[in-house]
Amino acid sequence: MVTTTTNLIVRYAETDAQGVVHHANYLVWFEEARSDFLRQQGLAYSDMERDGFYVVVSEVAATYRAPAFYEDRICIETTLAKARSRLLEFTYRIRNSDAKLLVEGRTRHIVVGADKRPVSLPKPVLEKLLAARP
């Protein structure tokens, strides 16, 4: 199974007055890591959207294990857990520079067309995604 890594440094704007990352920012980081995962597979959301395919979030789950702080260097491990013609599911593990697990998460996505109705991904896109799985 392909797992990619995306590295970020926690920005001041992502924290509260105590320098702790606000919980909503982890969802933004999931999105950044997911986009990076696709780029590493030779795909890009922008290309898919230009072709009329939109991957929309249908479900999110996150389990917070420990906080991240201002200027922490974090690593987001992203894995494509499921790939079907109309459904994608990614899992995430966010760690700090000491390899401490901070957050585990999952997102599910439905593929829709310009009319916002479910559609199947084009075969070449699905094949690239399936190549990233066992």
What's the pLDDT band for 10 if we cut at 50, 70, 90?
A: very high
Contacts for 110 with CB less than 8 Å, ≥ 6 apart: 55, 56, 58, 86, 87, 118
What's the pLDDT band for 132 if we cut at 50, 70, 90?
A: confident
CATH of the domain at 109: 3.10.129.10
What's the pLDDT band for 133 if we cut at 50, 70, 90?
A: low
- CA gap 23, 14 in Å, rounded: 9
- Can you give the residue range of the structural domain that contains 34? 3-131
Q: How many domains in the chain?
A: 1
Residue 92: how many other CB atoms lie within 10 Å: 24
- Please tell me which residue in 16, 47, 98, 115 is annotated as part of the active site: 16
> For 90-130, what is each residue's pLDDT tens digit?
999 999 999 999 999 999 999 999 999 999 999 999 998 98
- CA gap 28, 112 in Å, rounded: 21
> For 46-76, what is each residue's pLDDT tens digit?
999 999 999 999 999 999 999 999 999 999 9
How large is the average pLDDT for residues 3-15?
A: 97
Q: What pTM did the predictor assign?
A: 0.94
Q: Is 16 a catalytic residue?
A: yes
- CA gap 82, 65 in Å, rounded: 24
> How confident is the model at residue 1, as a pLDDT?
73
Q: Taking the mean position of all CA atoms in its chain, how far away is CA 15? A: 20
Sheet holding 3-9, edge to edge: 3-9, 73-83, 87-96, 101-112, 54-64
